[in-house]
């Protein structure tokens, strides 16, 4: 569904991504691992259209995304939860959620029913609807950020280190929610993650080092050696 091939990306003169190939299928969680600074966030930003690659292609449902601006990629179904969450602290939880609807092409949306589905997935958000986003805990903000992305009805959801700085019990809730989304809706997920338990929930992994994919395979084949080499655990 999402196919990245031969991608080279630069920041100015710095060559960040080198010949990156990666594929995400429908109904599959694909995890991208790698130590800090190897280029994981750069890859996600290139997919959503914030950075332009020098060479290579990004294809989604058999169409190249390269000529499309970021908002059109979002409308086509590329959902994104940035590293650090980026919820709006001075808007309420409900207002933050409604912003997620902006990514939809159709504006004929049953808001009540749509929010009810989201609250089933993340019950804590329902009771906190009228609180300011900035008053939520880190874990709740992450749930809000994921919920907001889901309201755009993505076909591929990209999550950049969703468990960074979050307490273990909430990590498990987030893991379970992501798995449920994939099972129920058959979307694809591209997950950048350092938390080993979550990495193992994925179906397939890619390991990145200095901007190149250096290992990949089903997560059942993740060895301790690969984990020690590429995860900051």
Ligand X SMILES: Nc1ncnc2c1ncn2[C@@H]1O[C@H](COP(=O)(O)OP(=O)(O)O)[C@@H](O)[C@H]1O
Q: Which among 106, 79, 101, 82 has a CA at the least distance from the CA of 2?
A: 79
Q: Which two tokens stand for residue 213?
A: 């994919």
Residues between 8 and 47 that touch ligand X (CB under 6 A): 11, 14, 16, 34, 36-42
> Which CB sits closer to ligand X, 93 or 190?
190
Task: Name, in order, each residue with C-beta under 8 angstroms of 214's C-beta and a sequence gap of 6 or more.
Answer: 207, 208, 230
161 phi and psi angles, rounded to 5 deg: 50, 60
41 is an interface residue for Mg ion by CB under 5 A: yes
Report d(CA 38, CA 155) in Å as an integer.
Answer: 26
46 is an interface residue for Mg ion by CB under 5 A: no
> Which CB sits closer to ligand X, 134 or 165?
165
Helix, strand, or coil here: 59?
Answer: strand
Report what 38 binds from ligand X, Mg ion, none; CB cut-off 5-8 Å by kind. Answer: ligand X
Residues between 57 and 116 that touch Mg ion (CB under 5 A): 83
Ranked by CB distance to Mg ion, the top (closest) residue is 41
- Residue 30, beta-bridge partner list: 190, 204
Report d(CA 72, CA 91) in Å as an integer.
Answer: 25
Compute the least distance from the CB of residue 155 to ligand X, in Å: 23
**Residues 11-40: x where in contact with Mg ion by CB under 5 A, - otherwise, as a string:** -----------------------------x
Helix, strand, or coil here: 26?
Answer: coil
142 is an interface residue for Mg ion by CB under 5 A: no
Q: Which two tokens stand for residue 206?
A: 């890619």
Report what 150 binds from Mg ion, ligand X, none; CB cut-off 5-8 Å by kind. Answer: none
Report what 201 binds from Mg ion, ligand X, none; CB cut-off 5-8 Å by kind. Answer: none
- The number of residues that bind ligand X (CB under 6 A) is 11
Residues between 133 and 162 that touch ligand X (CB under 6 A): none
Give just the sign of the alpha carbon dihedral 173, 179, 185, 191: positive
Q: Which among 109, 148, 116, 144 has a CA at the least distance from the CA of 128?
A: 144
Task: Name, in order, each residue with C-beta under 8 angstroms of 106's C-beta and a sequence gap of 6 or more.
Answer: none
Compute the least distance from the CB of residue 211 to ligand X, in Å: 7
Report what 42 binds from ligand X, Mg ion, none; CB cut-off 5-8 Å by kind. Answer: ligand X
Q: Using CB under 5 A as the criterion, which residues of the chain lie in contact with Mg ion when the complex forms?
A: 40-41, 83
Q: Using CB under 6 A as the criterion, which residues of the chain lie in contact with ligand X when the complex forms?
A: 11, 14, 16, 34, 36-42
């Amino acid at each position: 569904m999402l196919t990245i091939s031969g991608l080279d990306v630069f920041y100015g003169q710095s060559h960040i991504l080198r010949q990156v190939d990666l594929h995400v299928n429908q109904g599959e969680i694909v995890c991208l691992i790698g130590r800090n600074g190897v280029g994981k966030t750069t890859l996600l930003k290139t997919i959503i259209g914030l950075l332009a690659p020098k060479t290579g292609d990004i294809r989604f449902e058999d169409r190249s995304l390269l000529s499309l601006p970021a908002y059109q990629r979002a409308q086509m179904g590329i959902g994104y939860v940035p590293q650090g969450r980026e919820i709006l602290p001075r808007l309420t939880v409900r207002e933050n959620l409604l912003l997620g609807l902006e990514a939809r092409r159709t504006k004929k949306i049953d808001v009540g029913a749509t929010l009810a589905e989201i609250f089933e997935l993340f019950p804590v958000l329902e009771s906190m609807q009228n609180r300011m986003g900035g008053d939520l805990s880190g874990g709740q903000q992450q749930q809000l950020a994921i919920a907001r992305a889901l309201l755009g009805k993505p076909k591929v959801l990209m999550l950049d280190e969703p468990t960074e700085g979050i307490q273990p019990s909430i990590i498990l809730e987030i893991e379970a929610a992501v798995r449920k989304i994939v099972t129920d809706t058959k979307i694809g997920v591209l997950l950048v993650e350092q938390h080993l338990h979550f990495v193992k929930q994925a179906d397939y992994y890619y390991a990145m080092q200095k901007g190149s994919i250096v290992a990949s395979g089903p997560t059942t084949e993740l060895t301790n050696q690969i984990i020690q080499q590429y995860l900051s655990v």
